[in-house]
Amino acid sequence: MLIKRTGLVVFMLFLLACSKEQEGRIPDVPVNFHAPLTDPRLSRLNSSGGVVTIDGYGVAGLIIYRKPDGYSAFDRCSSVNPEKKCAVTPDDPSLTATDPCSGAKFSLYDGAPVKAPAVRSLKQYQVNVNNFQLSVTN
């Protein structure tokens, strides 16, 4: 009987640890965005430093940034209280994005937090360009 109780306690602690690990994380959702680079929605990506937001993908939309050496793409859902699904907005100049709910800022180069209360990066997605077609996937 003692072994059963001990096993039950260990199992419950394991479940609690797993739920705590997921707490504060941006949920995983399928992302499969494709558009030609000539798409008017992507016109601001014609030069380095350009940034666009795309609704309808990810948890709170996508934010795509043109770096000197390629592109980066992130979920717009802030990593600060992600359950609120607060969408970050690009700043001007577009080196960072701000969470309007908490005031946190994130680098558009790599999604890293640059201003508290953010401590986790934005959720990053893969970006590929092939035959003048931009794809953002996970």
Identify the CA nearest to 129 among candidates 79, 75, 78, 67: 67
Note whether 135 and 127 are within 8 A (CB): yes
Options 1.10.3720.10, 2.102.10.10, 3.40.1580.10, 2.60.120.10; CATH for 47-138 is 2.102.10.10
Residue owning tokens 């798409």: 39
Cis ω for the linkage preceding 100 (within 30 of 0): no
Task: Reply yes or no on whether the pLDDT at 14 is more than 90.
Answer: no
User: What pTM did the predictor assign?
Assistant: 0.82
Residues 56-78: pLDDT tens digits? 999 999 999 999 999 999 999 99
Distance, in Å, from the CA atom of 89 to the CA atom of 99, rounded to the nearest integer, reads: 7
- What residue segments make up the domains of the chain, in order of their start? 47-138
**Greatest Cα-to-Cα distance within the chain, rounded to the nearest angstrom:** 69
pLDDT at 11 over 50: no
Provide the 8-state DSSP code for 137: E
3-state SS assignment for residue 49:
coil
Q: How far apart are the first and last CA of the chain?
A: 46
What pLDDT, on the 0 to 100 scale, is given for residue 93? 85
- Percent of the chain past pLDDT 70, that is, above it, reads 83
* Amino acid in position 85: K
**Residue 94 pLDDT level (bands cut at 50, 70, 90):** confident
- How far, CA to CA in Å, does 114 sit from each of 24, 69, 84, 93, 117? 18, 21, 20, 15, 9
What the block records as the tokens of 48 is 């380095």
